[in-house]
Chain A
Amino acid sequence: MNNDGRRRVNAVIEVEHLHKRYGETVAVDDVSFTVGRGEIFGILGRNGAGKTTTVECLVGLRAPDGGTIRVLGRDPLRDHAEVTRRVGVQLQDGQLQDRLRVGEAMRLYASFYPEPADGTALLEQLGLEGKERMPYGRLSGGQKQRLSIALALIGRPRIAVLDELTTGLDPHARRDTWDLIEAVRAAGVTIVLVTHFMPEAERLCDRVALIDAGRVVHTGTPAELVERSGEPTLEDAYVTLTRRTP
């Protein structure tokens, strides 16, 4: 679809005609979008639309079958070390050892990066202060989620890719997390947010790409998306634009 018409001068992420299949199944058919420096960019779509696969290609976890990806001008697969140093990632699902303590996880991940952030301050901002000695396996779902956000930010990334940022968080934690993401962006970090929670997209995203059945059906600001659909709210617009034709 329209790649929002204009090339962004300060593009930090450029995805062109991304195509990815698993055997016979096409996970991503044709996805293109551009993310500008300092933007909060939302990738919206239903479960199975191809959001997570797109993000996995973006961070170099998967090799695309077609198209090109540039992250900070580099190829996420070929320049893997370079890209991973500058891109912080929060993935869905658990990803730490059960007996690893919160403080140990923060110190370990801090050691991976040349100029890590202040782990204690990050834990405090995410409401995990005092949990340093708690093993990962004993954290609640929301605490695990917040720790995984902290680990995505510990390396002072230029880009943070956050998949299902606030899934499993209670409303207070969700709002605190939104505040944190806005503060991180204010510090100059570009944010790619995968979500199907419309209040989150509305509150945080400057622009969104709406993906359906492996293709981008709309790129623009949340307001433009609402306008184009003719619906009253973003949630209605989302439902209308991603409704499967029977």
Chain B
Amino acid sequence: MTALASTELRLFLRERSGPAFGVGLPILLLIIFGNLPFYHERRDDLGGRTLLDTYVPILVAFSLAMLALNVLPPVLAGYREKGVLRRLRTTPVGPVRVLGAQLVITLVTALVAVTALLLVARFAFGVGLPRQPAGFLIATLLATLALTALGLLVAAAAPGGRAANAIGAAVFYPLVFFGGLFLPVETMPPALARISHATPLGAAVTAMTDATNGHWPHWIALLTLLAWAGGAAAAAAKLFRWE
């Protein structure tokens, strides 16, 4: 099992897209935003917070979505397409553990990305750390669960690696839009904001923002994430094929 996990980790790092898009890109965006003066102005429409304060949870959610929807599904669907999973089914180890190793890698990379984002925001740009750390951690974990379950569903539904890439991107962009990457939820028109709250990224950003401001995340946001995780995981389990 450790040999399998370490092999998968080495391939993940060798592939470079996971670390680059899941960790590097959100941090790069943070550094760009942090160097724009108007991101540091306190704004009334953001409840007296700066645009940069608002964007830290958004970039955290962006990173999780990137890993779960754009990095994980092509790997798993590609493994099925190439017969990697089929070959493993003829060994005593079986393919379930590859799935497990990939999920652990996604989770660990997500934690690395979130930690790095919070620390860079804090020490390079003076953005306060979440004032309700336990709430932030729970929101992050539930968001990771919901998005990873969606990623597994994409991997299950896609016939191959390329299709998984396309479907993953088609799910990713609307989700990060509703997560507020282009327009923070607080500044969305009410109709859009309502849709946003029902999406996994909208709920994740709302929950993380609550925790950042020192409140316990609203239970509706956490429940929304849990529902997405359960629904997507059930659908993925039903659709997933080893070959």
Our verdict on whether A and B bind, yes or no, reads: yes
- Which residues of chain A have a CB within 8 Å of any CB of chain B? 59-61, 80-81, 84-85, 87, 89, 91, 93-100, 104, 107-109, 111-113, 151, 155
Instruction: Please determine whether B92 and A93 come into contact, CB atoms closer than 8 angstroms.
Output: no
Q: Tally A-B pairs: CB < 8 A.
A: 58
Complex alpha-carbon distance, A80 and B96, angstroms? 14
Report B-chain residues with C-beta under 8 Å of the C-beta of A96: 82, 84, 87
Interface residue SS majority, chain B: helix
Known A-B contacts A96-B84, A97-B84; the reply to A84 vs B90 at CB < 8 A is: yes
Instruction: Please determine whether B87 and A95 come into contact, CB atoms closer than 8 angstroms.
Output: yes
Instruction: Please determine whether A107 and B3 come into contact, CB atoms closer than 8 angstroms.
Output: yes
Known A-B contacts A93-B83, A97-B82, A97-B84; the reply to A113 vs B7 at CB < 8 A is: no
Instruction: Please determine whether B11 and A91 come into contact, CB atoms closer than 8 angstroms.
Output: no
Instruction: Please determine whether B14 and A99 come into contact, CB atoms closer than 8 angstroms.
Output: yes
Instruction: Please determine whether B84 and A95 come into contact, CB atoms closer than 8 angstroms.
Output: yes
Near A by CB (< 8 A), chain B positions 72-86 give 79, 82-84, 86
B4: Cβ under 8 A from any A Cβ = yes
Report A-chain residues with C-beta under 8 Å of the C-beta of B243: 61
Known A-B contacts A61-B89, A112-B92; the reply to A91 vs B83 at CB < 8 A is: yes
Report B-chain residues with C-beta under 8 Å of the C-beta of A85: 92
What's the minimum C-beta distance from A36 to chain B, rounded to whole angstroms? 22
- Which residues of chain B have a CB within 8 Å of any CB of chain A? 3-4, 7, 10-11, 14-15, 79, 82-84, 86-87, 89-94, 243
Instruction: Please determine whether B79 and A97 come into contact, CB atoms closer than 8 angstroms.
Output: yes
Question: Looking at the complex, which one of B3, B10, B82 makes contact with A95 (CB distance below 8 Å)?
Answer: B82
Instruction: Please determine whether A94 and B82 come into contact, CB atoms closer than 8 angstroms.
Output: yes
Report A-chain residues with C-beta under 8 Å of the C-beta of B14: 99
What's the minimum C-beta distance from B155 to chain A, rounded to whole angstroms? 15
Complex alpha-carbon distance, A135 and B86, angstroms? 20
Complex alpha-carbon distance, A65 and B55, angstroms? 57
Instruction: Please determine whether B3 and A111 come into contact, CB atoms closer than 8 angstroms.
Output: yes
Complex alpha-carbon distance, A100 and B10, angstroms? 9
A92 — nearest CB in chain B belongs to which residue? B83
Report A-chain residues with C-beta under 8 Å of the C-beta of B83: 91, 93-95
Complex alpha-carbon distance, A126 and B82, angstroms? 23
Instruction: Please determine whether B91 and A84 come into contact, CB atoms closer than 8 angstroms.
Output: yes
Complex alpha-carbon distance, A60 and B82, angstroms? 19
Instruction: Please determine whether B90 and A97 come into contact, CB atoms closer than 8 angstroms.
Output: no
Complex alpha-carbon distance, A111 and B4, angstroms? 8
Instruction: Please determine whether A81 and B92 come into contact, CB atoms closer than 8 angstroms.
Output: yes
The interface centre, meaning the residue of B15, B83, B91, B93 with most chain A CB atoms within 10 A of its CB, is B91
Report A-chain residues with C-beta under 8 Å of the C-beta of B82: 94-98
Report B-chain residues with C-beta under 8 Å of the C-beta of A98: 82
Report A-chain residues with C-beta under 8 Å of the C-beta of B10: 104
